[in-house]
Every structure is written in structure tokens, then in C-alpha cells.
């Protein structure tokens, strides 16, 4: 089923669609208990959505985290879209700029899922988009984390970590790693892409900072020149006043352009850095699945050899060995299927990711170039319009 992404404000009636918009952030609570809630508006005609063509729910950031974690757990090999990070600095959590950047990033997150050929049909996505707040909270608190794991499972986790540390100290064989050319090419591409995107995002940040600093400097300069003009007679005083006013207007242009660069260029770059980091987690999951596949295949061989020996000696332990062999063989086959499914998904995902990245980065760079050209023309025209008046003052002195 091919579901096309459409604006939630004007969905088509002739094709299947699913779209969502994250809007109206509102601060709730006080102090450390304070958080931001969002209206999530869903419009769809998909048959599995039974609550009508439009649904509005209230969600908070932890609900988005719940959705991301559920999808990552259930769709191994899929590049689950990333979430914007939490603000590490308390005083920035509720600034208008931070709230808008997060709202925009959450909107992108939900709509990427709605567009995804597999994730769009997830039961967890339907829960997220349709459940009332009380039901959503119940689902969120039912999630199991490391500290809700059974004690026996925790002990096994610690034993596994101890074993790996011991192996490293004693110089035992390194874990088996997948080394196919396609896999190595994928890893190289992703790691290189992360470096290049991070470098581009760093310079975009500096550009935003420079625009803001220059805008502030022009504002301060404009005020100072206007004060200077007030102490001068005509026509010098008028010329200085005009220069100060023009500087203040240009300051506003620079501040607006800084905000545009932030939202339309730096943030998309930062978002793709997060996306690539999310893909790296999926690559690590593939590595784990490959090792499980290899280890279980090796264990199955050992169990088979042991069973053959017992059958030759007609040992009374043959029955027990046969059961162990069947169990481990079933586990091994399941691990192989799981690994092959991850590989197939990742092969499909990297093609889709590259197409999506090319389109979205193309838009971001185009908007950036247009904005810079618009700013340069605006600045040039502003100073050009002022030149005749300043030249007239200069020639009259």
C-alpha cells in the first residue's frame, strides 16, 4: 500500500493518505515538574484508523520517546527517525526559540514515520496518534527498562559484561564481525557522512552567530550615530540620523536572516547528524544479530557432533542430547532469519535514506542560498540608497 504524505490541512480524497502536524506547544506545570505539551493533529483515510478522518490528541516529549523506542525494538533493521535531543541547560528549556525548534523537529519525526512504508502501519503509531492522554500515559508507564528487568535477567547481563571484560583482558579471540564488501561500504559511507554533516552544521552555527553579532553591532552603531547626529546641526545631523536609522533597519534584516538560517539550514543539518547517529545504532544492532547467528550456528554444529558420538556409543543420554540439538537448531534458524531480515531491510533503507537526504538537503541548501542572496541584495540596496545623501553632505562641507 502506497501512502502519500499530504498536508493535514488539505488531504486528497482520491488516494490513501496519512499525515500529522505537531502544533500549539504549551508549558504545563512548574519548576522541575514543568513540561511542554503539543497538539498532534492526524488526518487520514487509512482503513486501520477507526476514529474518523481527523483526530486531535495531546502529547508530551516522553510520548514521542515511547514511540521511537517501540519502533526501534520492533522493526530491527529499519532506520527509525531520530528525535530532537533534550536541552541539557535548564534555562533554555522553555525559551521560545528552543520550543519552536523542538516542535518543528517533532513534526518532522512523526511525518517521517507516517511516510515510511513499514512504520506507517505500526500499531504503536496508531496508538500514539489516536489514544487519549490517559491511555497513552498507561502505555508509557508499562514500558520495561533495565531497572524493571527481572533480577535473574539483570544477573545474566552483568555476567555477560564480566565475560566480555575478562576475554579482553586475557586476550581471547575478538567477536566475529561481518566483513562483506557491501557492509563495509555501508559503514564507511555512514561514518564519513556523519563527519561531513557535523562539520557543515558547525559552520552553519557559526554563520548564525555571526549574523546575530553583526546585527547587534549594527543596532548599537545605529543608536550611537543617531545620538551623534542629534548634537550636530543641519545637514550633517540629518545625514547621521539617516545613517543610524538605516543601520537599525539592517540590524533587523540580519536578525531575521539569522533566524531563517537557524531554522531552515542549521537545524536540518543537525537533524541529519542525529539521523546518521540513529543509523549507526541500527548498524550496531546488525552486528549483534550477526554474532548471534554465527555463535548459534557454531553451537548447533557442536551439539550435532556430540549427538553423533552418543548415538555411536548408544549412550543413555541420546534422548536428552536430541532435545538439546533440536532446541538449539531452532534457535539458530530463527537467528539466521532475524539477521537476514535485518540485512534485507537495511539494503532497502539505505536507498530510501539517500533519496530522502538528497531531496531534503537540496531544499535546505537552496533556501540557504536564496536567503543569503536576498540578504546581500537588501544590504547593498539599503547602503546604495543612502549614498546620495551622504555624498551631498560631504560635498557641502
Q: Structure pTM? A: 0.81
Q: Going by C-beta distance under 8 Å and a sequence separation of 6 or more, which residues neighbour residue 61?
A: 35, 36, 86, 102, 106
Phi/psi zone of residue 2: left (φ > 0), alpha (ψ -120 to 50 degrees), beta?
beta
CB of 205 closer than 8 Å to CB of 266: yes
HSE-CB at 90 with a 13 A cutoff on CA atoms is: 5
Residues 6 or more apart whose Cβ sits within 8 Å of residue 170: none
Res 1: pLDDT: 37
Give CB contacts under 8 A, 24+ apart, made by 160-166: none
Q: Which residues contact 164 (CB under 8 A, 6 or more apart)?
A: none
Whose CA is closest to 386, among 238, 182, 197, 210?
Answer: 238
The CA–CA distances, whole Å, from 10 to 26, 40, 111, 129 equal 25, 16, 15, 18
What is the block-wise mean pLDDT of the chain (397 residues), using blocks of 10 residues?
42 76 92 90 89 90 95 95 77 82 95 94 95 92 54 47 48 72 94 95 94 94 91 82 92 93 92 94 94 94 91 86 93 96 96 94 93 92 87 72
Helix (H, G, I), strand (E, B) or coil at 125: helix
Give 383-397 as a DSSP string: HHHHHHHHHHHHHH-
Q: Which among 199, 193, 362, 340 is positioned nearest to 279, based on CA atoms? A: 193
Separation CA 397–CA 182 (nearest Å): 75
Give whole-number Cα distances, 17 to 7, 13, 45, in Å. 10, 9, 6
Cα gap 267→105, rounded to integer Å:
8
Tens digits of residue pLDDT in 92-122: 678 888 999 999 999 999 999 999 999 999 9
Half-sphere exposure of 330 (CA within 13 A, CB side): 5
Q: Which helix (H) or strand (E) holds 183?
A: helix 181-230
- What are the start-end ranges of the E strands in 31-139? 35-44, 54-60
pLDDT computed for residue 169 by the predictor: 45
Report pLDDT for 150. 45
Alpha helices in 231-317 (DSSP H): 236-261, 267-312
CA dihedral 342, 343, 344, 350 (to 10 degrees): 100
Say if residues 9 and 100 touch (Cβ distance below 8 Å): no
Distance CA 383, CA 377 (A): 10
Cell of 47: 482503513
- Using CA atoms, how far residue 46 sits from 18, 74, 77, 123, in Å, is 7, 21, 25, 13
**pLDDT score of 358:** 94
Is the peptide bond preceding residue 235 cis, with omega within 30 degrees of 0? yes
The residue behind cell 522553555 is: 94
pLDDT of residue 8: 45
Distance between CA 46 and CA 53 in Å, rounded?
8
Amino acid at each position: 500500500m502506497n501512502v502519500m504524505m499530504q498536508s493535514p490541512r488539505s488531504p486528497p480524497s482520491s488516494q490513501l493518505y496519512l499525515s500529522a502536524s505537531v502544533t500549539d506547544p504549551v508549558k504545563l506545570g512548574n519548576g522541575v515538574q514543568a513540561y511542554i505539551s503539543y497538539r498532534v493533529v492526524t488526518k487520514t483515510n487509512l482503513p486501520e484508523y477507526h476514529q474518523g478522518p481527523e483526530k486531535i490528541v495531546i502529547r508530551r516529549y516522553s510520548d514521542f520517546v515511547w514511540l521511537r523506542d517501540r519502533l526501534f525494538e520492533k522493526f530491527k533493521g529499519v532506520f527509525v527517525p531520530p528525535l530532537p535531543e533534550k536541552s541539557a541547560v535548564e534555562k533554555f528549556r522553555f525559551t521560545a526559540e528552543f520550543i519552536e525548534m523542538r516542535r518543528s523537529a517533532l513534526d518532522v519525526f512523526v511525518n517521517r514515520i507516517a511516510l515510511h512504508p513499514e512504520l506507517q502501519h505500526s500499531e504503536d503509531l496508531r496508538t500514539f496518534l489516536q489514544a487519549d492522554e490517559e491511555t497513552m500515559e498507561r502505555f508509557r508507564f508499562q514500558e520495561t527498562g533495565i531497572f524493571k528487568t527481572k533480577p535473574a535477567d539483570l544477573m545474566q547481563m552483568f555476567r555477560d559484561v564480566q565475560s566480555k571484560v575478562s576475554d579482553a583482558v586475557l586476550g581471547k579471540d575478538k567477536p566475529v564481525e561481518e566483513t562483506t564488501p557491501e557492509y563495509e561500504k555501508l559503514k564507511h559511507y555512514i561514518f564519513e557522512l556523519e563527519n561531513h554533516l557535523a562539520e557543515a552544521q558547525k559552520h552553519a552555527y557559526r554563520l548564525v552567530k555571526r549574523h546575530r553579532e553583526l546585527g547587534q553591532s549594527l543596532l548599537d552603531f545605529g543608536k550611537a550615530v543617531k545620538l551623534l547626529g542629534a548634537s550636530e546641526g543641519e545637514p550633517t545631523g540629518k545625514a547621521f540620523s539617516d545613517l543610524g536609522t538605516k543601520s537599525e533597519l539592517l540590524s533587523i534584516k540580519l536578525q531575521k536572516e539569522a533566524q531563517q538560517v537557524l531554522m531552515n539550514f542549521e537545524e536540518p543539518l543537525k537533524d541529519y547528524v542525529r539521523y546518521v547517529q540513529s543509523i549507526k545504532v541500527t548498524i550496531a544492532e546488525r552486528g549483534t544479530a550477526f554474532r548471534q547467528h554465527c555463535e548459534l550456528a557454531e553451537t548447533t554444529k557442536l551439539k550435532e557432533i556430540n549427538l553423533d558420538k552418543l548415538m555411536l556409543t548408544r549412550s543413555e543420554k541420546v534422548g536428552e542430547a536430541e532435545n538439546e540439538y533440536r532446541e538449539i537448531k531452532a534457535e539458530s534458524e530463527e537467528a539466521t532469519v532475524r539477521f537476514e531480515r535485518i540485512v534485507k531491510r537495511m539494503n532497502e533503507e539505505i536507498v530510501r535514506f539517500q533519496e530522502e537526504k538528497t531531496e531534503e538537503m537540496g531544499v535546505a541548501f537552496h533556501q540557504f542560498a536564496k536567503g543569503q542572496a536576498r540578504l546581500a541584495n537588501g544590504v547593498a540596496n539599503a547602503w546604495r540608497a543612502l549614498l546620495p545623501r551622504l555624498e551631498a553632505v560631504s560635498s557641502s562641507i
